[in-house]
Amino acid sequence: MTKIAVAILFMLLAMASGSLAKGNPNRGEQFISTNPDPDAVAGVWTVNSDLVIIRITRINGKRLRPALSSFSLAPGTYTLDAELALERGQNPFLTSSARISDFRFTVEAGHTYGLNHRYSEDRRAVGLVLEDLGTRQSCEYIDLPTSGSKFLDCTTRPD
């Protein structure tokens, strides 16, 4: 077999076993979950407010391409890196962009979380905060026609 065929075969086997990029929960790795059951995973959504957009660039040191704004995780403790950027330069407190590294958080199965930014009291620094939005939440981003922005809208799923 050629090197390309061997590489393709390896990728297909890795994807079939669930061990490529997303991790294999049976081996104790914790990455983005592909479990479709919303009660078995935690949903994490970035909350884009004050015209600041949050993009997740790494989870547990694993680079995400493209950067994410929402994802599901198996229950556990994680670290993430994020980039915060101004939406069309509208926020006077954030001059252009900021990077946040090693933000540590814990999520529980069945919960939905909003990842938001917070300014320091003197508004010279910005950080992240994870807010538990509760259980049985169904979320989506809704476009605001007047500004072109998106905001997070969550509603409680029926039993």
pLDDT in tens, 67-101: 888 889 999 999 999 998 866 545 555 456 788 99
Query: Long-range contacts of range 120-129, CB-CB < 8 Å, 24 or more positions apart?
Result: 123/93, 126/52, 126/84, 126/93, 126/94, 126/98, 126/100, 127/100, 127/103, 128/54, 128/82, 128/100, 128/103
Question: What is the overall mean pLDDT for the chain?
Answer: 74
Q: Average of pLDDT values for 149-156?
A: 84
Q: Are 107 and 76 in contact (CB under 8 A)?
A: yes
pLDDT over 70 (residue 20) = no
Q: Would the pTM count as exceeding 0.75?
A: no
> How far is 102 from 59, CA to CA, in rounded Å?
9
The share of the chain scoring above pLDDT 70, in percent, equals 68
Q: What pLDDT, on the 0 to 100 scale, is given for residue 64?
A: 87
Q: What pLDDT, on the 0 to 100 scale, is given for residue 126?
A: 81
pLDDT over 90 (residue 119) = no
Dihedral sign (CA 118, 126, 117, 105): negative
Q: What pLDDT, on the 0 to 100 scale, is given for residue 87?
A: 61
Q: What pLDDT, on the 0 to 100 scale, is given for residue 152?
A: 87
Q: What pLDDT, on the 0 to 100 scale, is given for residue 22?
A: 35
pLDDT in tens, 26-50: 223 345 677 768 788 899 998 877 6
